[in-house]
A and B are shown apart, each in its own frame.
Chain A
Amino acid sequence: MGNKLFFYSSITKKIVMALAGLFLISFLVVHLGINLLLLSDDGGAAFMVGVEFMTTNPLVKIMEYVLLGGFAIHILIGVIIQIQNWMARPVRYKVEGYSHLSFFSKYMIHTGAIIFIFLCIHFTNFYFVKLGIVSPPEGVGKEDFYQMATLLFADRFYAILYIVLMIFLGFHLHHAFQSAFQTLGLNHTKYTPFIKTVGTIYSILVPLGFASIPLVFIFIR
Chain B
Amino acid sequence: MDFTLKIWRQKNAKAKGKFVTYKVTGISESSSFLEMLDVFNDQLVTKGEDPVVFDHDCREGICGTCSLYINGRPHGPDDAVTTCQLHMRKFKDGDTIVIEPWRSKAFPVIRDLMVDRQAFDKIIQAGGFISVNTGGIPDANAILIPKADADSSMDAAACIGCGACVAACKNASAMLFVAAKVSHLALLPQGKAEASRRVQAMVAKMDELGFGSCTNTGACEAECPKQISIDNIARMNREFLGAKMGSQKKKVVAGGF
Contact = CB atoms under 8 A, between A and B. Distances in A.
Interface of A: 1-4, 9-15, 81, 84-85, 87-102, 105-106, 108, 175, 178-179, 182-187
Main secondary structure of the interface of B (DSSP, over half): mixed
Given A10-B203, A95-B100, A183-B216, A87 B210 contact: yes
A186 B237 CA distance: 9
Contacts of A10: 203, 206-207, 212-214
A106 to B, nearest CB: 6
Leading 9 A-B pairs by shortest Cβ distance: A185-B238, A187-B234, A88-B212, A98-B72, A85-B171, A185-B237, A85-B212, A88-B172, A95-B72
Given A2-B207, A4-B207, A88-B172, A102 B73 contact: no
A98 B170 CA distance: 11
A97 B215 contact: no
B191 to A, nearest CB: 18
Interface residues of B, number: 49
Given A10-B203, A10-B207, A93-B103, A183 B237 contact: yes
A203 to B, nearest CB: 15
16 contacts: A3-B211, A10-B206, A10-B214, A85-B212, A88-B106, A89-B103, A89-B170, A89-B172, A96-B72, A97-B72, A99-B72, A99-B223, A101-B217, A102-B217, A179-B216, A183-B237
Contacts of B223: 99
Given A4-B207, A101-B222, A93 B69 contact: yes
Contact of B208 (A2, A87, A100): A2
Contacts of A184: 237-238, 241
- Looking at B203, B236, B237, B244, which has the most chain A CB atoms within 10 Å of its CB? B237
Contact of B215 (A90, A108, A185): A108
A10 to B, nearest CB: 4
Contact of A3 (B100, B210, B231): B210
A120 B251 CA distance: 45
A105 B216 contact: yes
A3 B215 contact: no
Nearest to A5: B207
A3 B213 contact: yes
B81 interface: no
A81 B213 CA distance: 7
B56 interface: no
Interface of B: 6, 8, 19, 69, 71-74, 98, 100, 103-106, 168, 170-173, 203-204, 206-219, 222-223, 230-231, 233-241, 244
A183 B230 CA distance: 11
Given A89-B212, A182-B233, A98 B217 contact: no
- Looking at A88, A90, A95, A185, which has the most chain B CB atoms within 10 Å of its CB? A88
Nearest to A185: B238
A179 B98 CA distance: 32
A87 B203 CA distance: 18
A182 B172 contact: no
Contact of A182 (B105, B216, B222): B216
Contact of B170 (A1, A84, A106, A179): A106
Given A3-B211, A186-B234, 20 more contacts: A9-B240, A10-B203, A10-B214, A11-B203, A14-B237, A81-B215, A84-B212, A84-B213, A87-B210, A88-B106, A88-B212, A94-B6, A94-B98, A98-B72, A101-B222, A105-B215, A182-B230, A185-B235, A187-B235, A187-B238
Contacts of B203: 9-11
A68 B212 CA distance: 28
A20 B232 CA distance: 23
